[in-house]
Amino acid sequence: MSVLIKGGRIVTSADDYVADVFVDGERVSLIGESLDLDADRVIDATGKYVLPGCVDPHTHLDMPFGGTVTIDDVESGQTAAAFGGTTCHVDFCIQGKGQSFADALSDWHAKAEGKQLIDMGYHIAVTDLSFDGALEELASLPERGVTSYKLFMAYKGALQVDDETLFKAMEVAAGSGALVMVHAENGDAIDVLVKKALAEGHTEPHWHALTRPPETEGEATNRAIQLARVAGCPLYVVHVSCREAVEPIAAARAKGWDVWGETCTQYLFVDYTFLERPSFEGAKYVYTPPPRDKANQEVLWDAVRTDVLSAISTDHCAFRWDTQKSLGRDDFSKIPNGGPGLENRLQMIHHFGVREGRITLNRMVELLATSPAKLFGLYPRKGTLAIGSDADIVVFDPEKRVTITSSDQHSKVDYNLYEGTEVVGTPETVLLRGQVLVTGGDLVGTPGIGQYVARARFGGELTRAGQPVAA
């Protein structure tokens, strides 16, 4: 199968020019002016942007959490992703307490079996290093293409690890070439604040934010940075939400330390007041870290513009409002933590970031595709449009007006964080490795076409033939 995409404006993190793209099989074969080639399918991209498929480095599909399971499995979550222009993501495989990493990974691979519409890899979420051989097994995971270790510094009694476990994982990563990711909040302090609030009779959703003040995120971010420095491993701080966490990341990066951070779409748009919406509607915005005071949004836009933060993910962790968020109707601490967003990241960042002049088009591609691909060992196979790269391509209509609403979305969740928001610009056609996945509002790809991607070690590259090469 060959595809010729004609006359589009090709935008990568570095370039912006009008040309044709010829795809032969799964990869980009040629890029040039007025290519005169026969193809099985010709796509007229005049007036459109031709972008690399977006890469989402932070999702939770089919994940048990908060007494329930995230509502989007691999098929529905990846369908939402495909409509949103995301063609590759890295999901979290959670190690059960005492479980070997191999068993955890086979559980997660089984969940994806036959359901994949886009390509995906896994981070391993480490919850227990206390069994014999745990450190050695963790060290061996990069050989299987699992090249990032995630540790939760919060969610006491569930996913939280102590500093000993965090530091041991960091030491392993320093030797194995993995990137350490942290959910940075001080879970012990938060646990005290939650218990106190409940004892005082505070049960409503906004207490989720009042018991997780920004200082608890700032403290944990700084602690993780300092520990990573001692261990000598690279560090990536997920879902940065506030100034208190941005500042230590900025300071570390200014010193040239191997520290990176991401924020998520929702922190740029949803603020604390959403949690105060009446009739339990605030529960829709219970995710962690919580929505912050609005002033943080300009701090985050500045940070993504200046590369203090290097990626924007979704942290898609969707729970239905009617049947799942309702677990916490009488107790905010029982509301499953997480929000949806896989389908709307590109639309929202394009409209409010690029169209409103906060970031350039090149920077948008860098934040949503190129940097995540580089940081997580997928580049240059993913994250750019170049000869030999996977033909993961978004033909994006920059002028189409769309009103975001849950009734049009492809996730199984029953609300949208950006309900009623009008955006200009949306994906029109999405290709995965040369196959049309979505076009004109229809899903054309079938489950099973997506693949697991073994990623390269931190700083290494994934060759265009898909072989990880050492850093």
* Binds ligand URP by CB under 6 A, chosen from 248, 338, 353, 427: 338
Between residue 24 and residue 83, which ones bind ligand URP under the rule CB under 6 A?
A: 60
Please identify, using beta-carbon distances, which residue of 239 and 381 lies nearer to ligand URP: 239
Question: Which string of b and e fits 293-331 if b means at least 16 CB within 10 Å?
Answer: eeebbebbbebbeeebbbbbbbbbbbbbbeebbbbbeee
Structure tokens that stand for 258 in this block: 């191997």
Please identify, using beta-carbon distances, which residue of 204 and 315 lies nearer to ligand URP: 315
- Cα separation, 122 vs 126, whole angstroms: 12
Residues, the chain, total?
A: 471
E runs forming strands in 14-165: 16-24, 27-32, 41-44, 49-52, 54-59, 64-65, 68-69, 86-94, 119-125, 148-152
Dihedral in degrees, nearest 10, Cα atoms 335, 169, 123, 336: 0
9 binds, among Zn ion, ligand URP, none (CB under 5 to 8 A by kind): none
Minimum CB–partner distance for residue 290 and ligand URP (Å): 9
Pattern 288-327, ligand URP, x by CB under 6 A: x--------------------------x-x----------
Please identify, using beta-carbon distances, which residue of 242 and 361 lies nearer to Zn ion: 242
Please identify, using beta-carbon distances, which residue of 315 and 343 lies nearer to Zn ion: 315
Minimum CB–partner distance for residue 33 and ligand URP (Å): 45
Please identify, using beta-carbon distances, which residue of 80 and 317 lies nearer to ligand URP: 317
Q: What is the DSSP string of 204-236?
A: STTHHHHTS-HHHHHHHHHHHHHHHHHHT--EE
DSSP class of 384: S
Cα separations in angstroms, 1 against 271, 435, 444, 445? 46, 8, 15, 14
Residue 123 makes contact with Zn ion by CB under 5 A: no
- Cα separation, 317 vs 72, whole angstroms: 8
Please identify, using beta-carbon distances, which residue of 189 and 361 lies nearer to ligand URP: 189
Minimum CB–partner distance for residue 266 and ligand URP (Å): 9
Between residue 225 and residue 254, which ones bind ligand URP under the rule CB under 6 A?
A: 239
DSSP class of 407: G
* Binds ligand URP by CB under 6 A, chosen from 9, 27, 123, 183: 183
Between residue 174 and residue 213, which ones bind Zn ion under the rule CB under 5 A?
A: 183
253 binds, among Zn ion, ligand URP, none (CB under 5 to 8 A by kind): none
- Nearest residue by C-beta to Zn ion? 183
Number of residues that bind ligand URP (CB under 6 A): 9
Residue 337 makes contact with ligand URP by CB under 6 A: yes
118 binds, among ligand URP, Zn ion, none (CB under 5 to 8 A by kind): none
Please identify, using beta-carbon distances, which residue of 20 and 219 lies nearer to ligand URP: 219
Give the SS3 label for residue 399: strand
DSSP class of 289: S
What residue type is 366 in one-letter code? E
* Binds Zn ion by CB under 5 A, chosen from 315, 343, 366, 390: 315
Query: Nearest-CA neighbor of 60 among 451, 337, 374, 372?
Result: 337
Q: Return residues touching ligand URP (CB under 6 A).
A: 60, 183, 239, 287-288, 315, 317, 337-338
Q: Return residues touching Zn ion (CB under 5 A).
A: 183, 315
